[in-house]
Amino acid sequence: MKLSYPHVFERATDPAAPPLVLLHGTGGDENDLVPLGRRISPGSALLSPRGKVSEHGANRFFARLAEGKFDPAEVTRRTHDLADFIVAASVEYDLDPQRLIAVGLSNGANIAAAILQLRPGVLGGAVLLRPMVVLDQPAAAGSLAGLRVLIASGAVDPIVPVTEPPRLAALLRSGGAEVELHTSPASHALASSDLSAAVKFFSSLRAR
């Protein structure tokens, strides 16, 4: 079957490791987060699509009006399009949606959060690196029950105001998700403490 996003897929080498969907940041591509995925969850299957929107040549998962300004209709349409791809790819590659963890960076984290808000059932959890609120709507009550989410923010991030991560956490908790907030002494770029927090998140998932 022809899947609707250019992507890379790596098979699992450890069946106990959860499959990951890797969602790159603005200007990235499907190869960007593969080394990160291998590092934070060794042995996981890795599904990594490339965003279809081009902002002056920089790949993204949805268009924006300006930095930090979003059109909810555009975000909603692109969220459903990516969610449909993930559902189709999960069938094609035999990935269990209940175990499927999105690992998104910046724009990729934002669309992963939107999938949790709009399409519960597509993902089994998420690691959101430097997300902000792009859809100001709470997840439907009970729709994210039992799901675990890590939100990793930077204390001196010039793009994400410090009020955003707790606001996003509240929107996801409305659906019943168990959300952990982690703040690194970092800016919008990832730091080593983000990686340690993600590694800890995956070991505690596996310990359950």
Which residue ranges make up the site for ligand MLT (CB under 6 A)? Answer: 25-26, 64, 67-68, 106-107, 110, 159
Supply the minimum distance, in Å, between the C-beta of residue 131 and ligand MLT. 8
Complex with ligand MLT: residue 63 or 199, whichever CB lies closer: 63
**Cβ atoms within 10 Å, residue 61:** 28
Q: Which of 106, 143, 153, 184 is catalytic?
A: 106
Supply the minimum distance, in Å, between the C-beta of residue 100 and ligand MLT. 21
Beta bridge partners of 53: 60
Q: Which of 84, 187, 188, 193 is catalytic?
A: 188
Complex with ligand MLT: residue 145 or 155, whichever CB lies closer: 155
Supply the minimum distance, in Å, between the C-beta of residue 93 and ligand MLT. 26
Q: Is 106 a catalytic residue?
A: yes
Q: Is 182 a catalytic residue?
A: no
Q: What are the b/e assignments for 76-103, b being 16+ CB within 10 Å?
A: bebbeebbebbeebbeebebeeebbbbb
CA distance 27 to 55: 8
Regarding beta strands 53-55 and 58-60, do their DSSP bridges make them parallel or antiparallel, or are they unpaired? antiparallel
Q: Which of 90, 157, 182, 184 is catalytic?
A: 157
Complex with ligand MLT: residue 18 or 49, whichever CB lies closer: 49
Supply the minimum distance, in Å, between the C-beta of residue 105 and ligand MLT. 9
Q: Is 81 a catalytic residue?
A: no
Complex with ligand MLT: residue 64 or 182, whichever CB lies closer: 64
- Which residues are designated catalytic? 106, 157, 188
